[in-house]
Amino acid sequence: MKALVIYHSQEHGNTELMAQAVADGLKESGLQVVTLNTNEDRLDCSTYPHFSCIAIGTPDYFSYLAGGLKMFLDDHYIEEQRGMEGMFNKPVALFYSHGGGGKVRQPLVSLFKRLGPIVGEPVESYLKPTEKVLERCRKLGRVLAAAAK
Ligand SMILES: Cc1cc2nc3c(=O)[nH]c(=O)nc-3n(C[C@H](O)[C@H](O)[C@H](O)COP(=O)(O)O)c2cc1C
C-alpha cells in the first residue's frame, strides 16, 4: 500500500519536519510513502487513486491554508469532475504549523473532510516542532496506516 504525504513548507521548514515524522510513522507500519511539498512541485491528481491514505499538512497563512494545498484541492475536484474513480473515501490525517494563531485548523478540517474520513486528531505545532510534537506526528502516521485500505 502506498501513502501520500502532501504538504506546503516554505518559510522555516517547520511543516516539512512534521511531514517527515508523519512519513516515518507510515513507513514504520510498512507503507510506501510519496512525499510532496507543494512549494516545490504540483501533484498530478490523476495519480491520486493509487494512494491508500493521505496526510495533509500546511502552515497557517492568514488563518487559512497555503495556496499550494488549495491548488491541490482544486485539481482534485477537477479530476473528480472528469469522472476519475477512486478520488474519495480514503482516510485523511491532518497537521499544521503556525506562528501563534493557528486558526487554519477550522478551514483545514472543513475543506479536506470532503476527501474522506479524518483519522486521529489534527497535530499542531507552534513554529518549529518539538520532539513531543514530532512523536505525535509519527503516531498520526501509524494511526493513518492502520486505517488505510
Ligand atoms: C504569508 C504568511 C502568513 C502567515 N500568517 C499566519 C497567521 O495568520 N497565523 C499564524 O499563526 N501564523 C502565520 N504565519 C506563520 C507561519 O504559519 C509559521 O511560521 C509556519 O510555521 C511556517 O511554516 P513553514 O516553515 O513550514 O513554512 C504566516 C507566515 C507567512 C509567511
| Any ligand 1 atom below 6 A from CB of 15 | yes
Mean pLDDT of 116-140: 98
- Residue 7 and residue 40 in contact, taking contact as beta carbons nearer than 8 Å: no
Mean pLDDT of 22-30: 98
**What is the atom index within ligand 1 of the atom nearest the CA of 97?**
21
Residue nearest to atom 28 of ligand 1 (CA): 61
Residue nearest to atom 16 of ligand 1 (CA): 98
Closest CA to 105 of 140, 149, 57: 57
Q: What is the distance between the alpha carbons of residues 100 and 89, in angstroms, rounded to a whole number?
A: 32
State pTM to two decimals: 0.98
- Residue 91 and residue 144 in contact, taking contact as beta carbons nearer than 8 Å: yes
Q: What is the distance between the alpha carbons of residues 83 and 85, in angstroms, rounded to a whole number?
A: 6
pLDDT at residue number 78: 96
Residue 130 DSSP class: P
| Any ligand 1 atom below 6 A from CB of 97 | yes
The pLDDT tens digits for 46-103 are 999 999 999 999 999 999 999 999 999 999 999 999 999 999 999 999 999 999 999 9
| Any ligand 1 atom below 6 A from CB of 146 | no
Domains of the chain: 2-147 (3.40.50.360)
SS3 37: strand
Residue nearest to atom 29 of ligand 1 (CA): 61
| Any ligand 1 atom below 6 A from CB of 98 | yes
Q: Give Cα separations from 28 to 21, 24, 31, 138 (angstroms).
A: 11, 6, 7, 9
pLDDT at 128 over 80: yes
| Any ligand 1 atom below 6 A from CB of 102 | yes
Residue nearest to atom 31 of ligand 1 (CA): 11
pLDDT at 149 over 90: no
pLDDT at 45 over 80: yes
Mean pLDDT of 135-143: 98
- Contacts of residue 59, Cβ cutoff 8 Å, sequence gap at least 6: 8, 9, 10, 11, 14, 15, 66, 96, 97, 98, 104
Q: What is the distance between the alpha carbons of residues 43 and 131, in angstroms, rounded to a whole number?
A: 29
| Any ligand 1 atom below 6 A from CB of 63 | yes
pLDDT at residue number 75: 97
